[in-house]
Amino acid sequence: MPDTILHYKVVELLGEGARSTIYSVIDQQSKKAYALKHVLRKDPKDIRFIEQMETEFELSRKFNHPNLRRSYELKLVKSILMKVTEAFLIMELCEGKPLDVRPPSNMMSVMDIFIQAAQGLKAMHQLGYIHCDIKPNNILSNDFGAVKVIDYGQSCPIGTVKERIQGTPDFIAPEQVARKPVGVQTDVFNLGATLYWACTGKHIPTLYTVNKKGENSFLLDDRIDSPSDLNPKVPTSVSNLITEMIATKLQKRPADMDEVITRLELGKHILNKQAVGTANMPPTSVPLDSDSVDV
C-alpha cells in the first residue's frame, strides 16, 4: 500500500475490484478525510473502467442526498500520446460495510436499510438516471443504521439501450440481459432481487443465470419460491412486494420507488405491531412436572 497518492496521505485499503483499488485518505492540505478510487489501465480494453469512473464522477458530483455517495474530483493521468493511463476519483468517505459483508440481523433492520436504499434510488431517478447494478456489495450500512448506495459506474440515463450486457448475474433484470431500454423498473428489479437475498439468504434464478446453464427460461417467475415460504418472519405484504419487484414483465413490477418505499414502510409498521404484541403477552408458565432441566 502506498504512503501517499497525489497530495493525499493513505490511511487504509478499503477494497479492490477488477481494475480498481479504493483507499481511505486524508488531504494533507485541508486535513479532510476522503475515499480515493484508483484505476490503472493495464490493457487497451481497460479503457472501459476509466469510462465507468468518468460516468460515476459526472453523476455523483450532482448528488446531495444522505443515501447517495458524492464525488468531488476526478484526476486523469495521460501518456505522451495523450492516452489516459490511470485515473483517481476523490469521493465522500462513507462509514459502514456492504450487506454481503454484514447482512441485516433481523427483519426490522432489513426494512430500515431497504427503505433508505430506495430513497437514494428515488433521488437518482429524479435526476433522470438509474443505477443499473444494485446488489448487496453496493449498499453500505453503518453501526447507526445509516445507508449509502454506492458505485455508479454502470449508471446511465433512463431509457438507455446498452451496447453490451451489464449487471451482476444474480441480480440482473431481464431487460438488461436482452439489451432492451433500461429504466426505473430496472432498479426496482435489482433492488427486489437484493431484498430477496436479504430476507432469504438465497439468490433468485435470473434470465442470465438460467441462460448460462442452458435451461429453459419459460415461466421463470414460477420457479422462484415465495420469500415468506423460505423465511416465515417475512410479512406476507413484504413477500408479495418482493415477488412483484422481481417479476419478469415490467408491467407487473411496482411503477417506481415511491410505491416500493410506501409498501416497505407498511411492512415496517406490521413488524412494529407484532413486536408490541409479543412484548405485551403474559409470560408463559412452566409446569412443575415438565421436562425442563437446569444445568
Q: H/E element holding 184?
A: helix 184-200
The beta strand positions in the chain, using DSSP E, are 4-5, 8-16, 20-27, 33-40, 71-78, 84-91, 97-98, 129-130, 139-141, 147-149, 156-157
Task: Provide the residue range defining the domain that includes 166.
Answer: 97-278
Q: Which of 70, 91, 112 is the last residue of a domain?
A: 91
Q: What is the CATH number of the domain that holds 133?
A: 1.10.510.10
pLDDT in tens, 140-173: 999 999 999 999 999 999 999 999 999 999 999 9
pLDDT at 291: 34
Packing angle between helix 107-126 and helix 257-279, nearest 10 degrees? 160
pLDDT in tens, 199-225: 999 999 898 888 777 665 655 777 789
CA 163 to chain centre: 23
Q: Are 103 and 85 in the same domain?
A: no
Q: What is the CATH number of the domain that holds 30?
A: 3.30.200.20
At residue 251, what are phi and psi to the nearest 5 degrees? -65, -15
pLDDT in tens, 218-248: 557 777 899 999 999 999 999 999 999 999 9
pLDDT in tens, 46-105: 888 999 999 999 999 999 999 999 999 999 998 887 788 899 999 999 989 999 999 999
- Tell me if 35 is assigned to some domain: yes
Q: Does residue 195 sit in helix, strand or coil? A: helix
The answer to whether the pTM exceeds 0.85 is yes
